[in-house]
Amino acid sequence: MTTEQAIERLTFAEIADDLGDPSDARVLTLPGGLVDADGAVHRRLRVRELNGADEEALFDRRAGSDAKRVSVFLARVIESVDGIRAPVEPALAERLSIGDRDYLLLRLRQLDLGDAIHQVARCPSCARKVDVDFAISELPLRRLERPQAAYDIEIAGHRLRVRLPNGADQTAIEGDAADNPAAANSALFARVVLDIDGEGPPSEDDTRAWPIALRARLAEWLDANAPGPDLFIDIGCPYCGADMSYRFDLDAFFLPSA
């Protein structure tokens, strides 16, 4: 299987203290980027310092689901995007890939609250509480060398034209993601597959009828080729040695349930 994108794994190196001009720290380069219909890629944007009103916006459940609130939040704090003259609105934030959105949340947290993250986790084996400490700058970051609006790929004997999932997709499937991940995948595939075998985009009923091997391979491709930070935290319990590895829940970190 071949794609038209190349991916390299990098780590965060844009720490504010390492920059000659501190204001440059607010100019970020997305690991993916917004791709126009003509193929133009917009990757550099400027963000402002977070304030109390931004925190309130994140907690405002009247704004909708977690993904919708992230879109509203990002639209508030992104001041400008290079090459795009239109105002930054939630609709633009929804166009960002999920990995780009994760990247922005992490970098904003890093810039305004520091690089270090401390959490407390409970070992699933011995039930003891374990302190988990890591640095945002240590998380691997996957950047796309040639972002595209869509990619032509071959999976399980089928030819597909696929785009990478974005914030709008995240919002659309959020209700199913926790309760029924398979249903969420059916809805996601129907949104991101623009064509299959020259027959046009599939419906959700079509994706439900796909062989499970095709669905699994497509999910793997989307995960392997998405830009953004790797949020998998690899740790073991210091008391009993059990595996405590988990995926850092970025939404919960920024959008606590309390």
Residues 135-164: tens digit of each pLDDT: 888 888 999 989 999 999 999 999 999 999
Class of the CATH-defined domain 148-226: alpha beta
Please state, in angstroms and rounded to a whole number, the distance separating the CA atoms of residues 255 and 13: 26
Please state, in angstroms and rounded to a whole number, the distance separating the CA atoms of residues 10 and 22: 22
Name the residue ranges covered by the structural domains of the chain: 7-143+229-254, 148-226
Residues 211-247: tens digit of each pLDDT: 999 999 999 999 999 999 999 899 999 999 999 998 8
Please state, in angstroms and rounded to a whole number, the distance separating the CA atoms of residues 59 and 188: 26
Q: Where in 124-189 does DSSP place strands (E)? A: 129-135, 140-144, 151-155, 158-162
Whose CA is closest to 162, among 171, 172, 154, 170?
A: 154
Please state, in angstroms and rounded to a whole number, the distance separating the CA atoms of residues 25 and 45: 11
Pair type for strands 193-196 and 246-247: unpaired
What's the whole-number mean pLDDT along residues 13-40?
74
Are 167 and 94 within 8 A, CB to CB? yes
| pTM for this prediction | 0.87
Residue 58's pLDDT is what?
Answer: 83
Confidence band of 7 (pLDDT split at 50, 70, 90): very low
Strand order in the sheet with 158-162: 151-155, 158-162, 193-196
